[in-house]
Structure 1
């Protein structure tokens, strides 16, 4: 079994976390939320 560590993200990882959240949310809510919603908020504001 592989070892792994659960930890809080750092400020340097904020952009990657925001992008991952956007990708996962878009996949999870595909067909339920209008496509325009996903482009309404720029990544820099997430």
Structure 2
């Protein structure tokens, strides 16, 4: 999992990427290609 200050550029890398808020943190998850995961901050 990548930890980044800004997730905007990472969302565009794959069309299956979704932005999710959990417990005050922002995540990128991808159901089809699970390699793309990221957390903000």
Structure (1 or 2) with the larger CA radius of gyration:
1
Structure whose residues are more often helix by fraction:
1
Shared fold (TM-score, shorter chain, > 0.5): no
TM-score (norm 1): 0.29
TM-score (norm 2): 0.30
